[in-house]
Structure 1
Amino acid sequence: MTAPSPRIGIIVTDAYPIEDPDHDTPLLLESLRARGATAEPVVWHSDAADLTDFDLLVLRSPWDYPQRPDEFLMWLDRAEQATRVANEPATMRWNLDKFYLADLEHAGVAVVPTRYCRSRADAEAAIRAHRRVVVKPTVSAGAKNTGLFDATDPRALALAELIIDGGGVAMVQPEIPELSAGAEKALYAIDGHFTHAIAKGALLDLGGTLIGGVYMENPRRVDATASERLFVEDVLRAVAEVTGDEMPLYARVDTVDSAEYGLVLLEVELVEPALNLHVATDAIDVVADAILRAAGREALSAG
């Protein structure tokens, strides 16, 4: 008897900014369907779909969840009770607060130096320790409330206070000149193995603003060195060790290779990173095959 085709929900939202469309989902749906799967987009905050109907839900572009964090966490609870979810919900909950960087640093990962500030005094001391600093909250997305400042700029402390007074924790990091010059690399991994690298260019302008006044990525395919590829796999092994969960199905590992600190982790995104499959088309089938394996089916031959 032929096994029924797996039914896979690709978790999205219902509206995207013109400057930040979801390029990945149409490509993934096409590849999954070519492999015999029943695959469809599912708007995370809609009640239209019965989540128990799916063999697997894969979070891809629910990019409005930071504006509805409590609702998103409740949805994640419902999804976990209904069926299998990728990435693991416990891993995603851990990843929502950038204090996870401290966990990874404790596990031996080289991380950009970070002070976690819960008071004005903490923030003042952290800012004074450097010539230029990046200030941001531990819980955020899309560079919201994130700024690059001279340490003498009163706006640096003002932003930290805004974050702390709002009930958050302010992260203070030294400026990394290579990062300000646009040398950040987003390194992608599927099932813990490197697939492709993307450069996004610099985002932060000195003085607390975004370059061009709006969050705008300009992804382009770049090469990754052997050490960067190994670094990705080391980071994701540390993630699995720290969380106690299985290896993430998908991950974006943001890095910069700096003169002062060496190759360091800036962020590991395990909730809803754009995979930029329109730029790295050779990774489309790799992702689709991994999704089918996660759904408990061997990948069928496309075509």
Structure 2
Amino acid sequence: MKVAYVTCGDPIVRFDDEREAVLAAWLGAGIEGSTAAWDDPAVDWASFDAAVVRSTWNYIERRDDFVAWAHATERVTRLFNPASVLEWNTDKSYMRDLGVPTVPTYWAEPGATVEPPEWAEYVVKPTISAGARDTVRTADRDAARAHADRLLAEGRAVMVQPYVEAVEREGELSLLYFGGEFSHAVRRHPMLTGVAISEDNKARLRDPDADQFDLAELVLSKIKEELLYVRVDLVRLPGGEPVLMELEAAEPYLFLGYELDAPDLFAQKLAERLRHTP
């Protein structure tokens, strides 16, 4: 089976340090994988038995084009994850309708007047974003409102959240699933702290607590489409309850280098789907 490992043409793709491990695991599962950029018009997607979206990290500036590409590609080959999931998951407003515990969020659409609640600290970001891009953390409510207004003036929807200090103590926990099967979990380096990654705070494997597993399973139960891969990011609120920070089903980093069996499980689940006729 010939499968495209979908990347992008932007130089940012050089940070994809999981590609070689994935392609090697695919080969071991009888899958011939090769790299192809979603934004390369010369690629013949129909020539692949399937396409797996991975490091398509430049979609943020061209989301409409990316979504159109996903739907067009799905018409000529199998796409993982499905185009409907990619469209839904690349705008963080999906969290409004999941029906699971999430970080409290104030939402604003272009044209709105921003009046966020009184919180000790604010995190302000566009709903279409990744890697803390265009994200501001501030204790100044006026500064939070001003950043939100700038984003709204650019025609971008905005989300404002309280800064959750627990990410600096317990950390944000990412649970990785392949084909619906739990693979591993990683405590991630806290973002928006200004603290560089070090031996003391770098990402590490961690066993989720029972309530974190329960929440992750609840989140995944809300997704009707079958997912080849997904990352569930959780954090604890000051009261100790876990909540969803983000559900990554489009192009998440999978922390494959942290769990020896993870690349093979990823490959196994892909092989199972390729053998199954939709």
Fold shared per TM-score above 0.5: yes
Match of 1:3 in 2: none
What are the equivalent positions in structure 2 for 1:1-303 lying under 5 Å apart?
6-17=1-12, 21-105=15-99, 109-118=100-109, 122-124=113-115, 126=116, 128-152=117-141, 154-181=142-169, 183-205=171-193, 211=195, 218-240=202-224, 246-260=225-239, 262-296=241-275
Shift of 1:295: 1.5
Alignment gaps of 5+ in structure 1: 1-5, 241-245, 299-303
Distance 1:132 1:162 in 2: 19
Distance 1:86 1:120 in 2: 35
Q: Quick check: 1:236–1:248 contact (8 Å CA) kept in 2?
A: no
Aligned CA-pair RMSD: 2.4
Partner deviation per Cα, 1:9-35 (whole Å, 9 max, x = no partner): 1111245449x7212211111111122
Distance 1:170 1:53 in 2: 39
Q: Quick check: 1:194–1:233 contact (8 Å CA) kept in 2?
A: no
Q: Quick check: 1:145–1:159 contact (8 Å CA) kept in 2?
A: no
Distance 1:170 1:41, change over 3 A: same
Distance 1:114 1:7 in 2: 42
Deviates most, 79-88 or 228-237: 228-237
Distance 2:206 2:17 in 1: 18
Distance 1:98 1:191 in 2: 22
Partner deviation per Cα, 1:153-210 (whole Å, 9 max, x = no partner): x3211110011111122111112110244611111111223211112221114xxxx5
Distance 1:256 1:160, change over 3 A: same
**Scaled by the length of structure 2, what TM-score is found?**
0.90
Shift of 1:71: 2.5
Shift of 1:261: 6.1
**Scaled by the length of structure 1, what TM-score is found?**
0.83
Letter paired with 2:86: M
Q: Quick check: 1:59–1:272 contact (8 Å CA) kept in 2?
A: yes
- Paired residue secondary structure (1:239): coil
Distance 1:70 1:173 in 2: 26
Distance 1:252 1:16 in 2: 24
Distance 1:289 1:27, change over 3 A: same
Distance 1:176 1:115, change over 3 A: same
Q: Quick check: 1:56–1:294 contact (8 Å CA) kept in 2?
A: no
Letter paired with 1:166: E
Aligned length: 274
Match of 1:243 in 2: none
- Paired residue secondary structure (1:123): coil
Distance 1:181 1:287 in 2: 31
Alignment gaps of 5+ in structure 2: none
Letter paired with 2:71: D
Distance 2:42 2:108 in 1: 42
- Paired residue secondary structure (1:278): helix
Q: Quick check: 1:180–1:204 contact (8 Å CA) kept in 2?
A: no
Deviates most, 115-124 or 138-147: 115-124
Letter paired with 2:137: L
Shift of 1:73: 2.1
Partner deviation per Cα, 1:204-248 (whole Å, 9 max, x = no partner): 14xxxx555xxxx943222212322232221111122xxxxx221
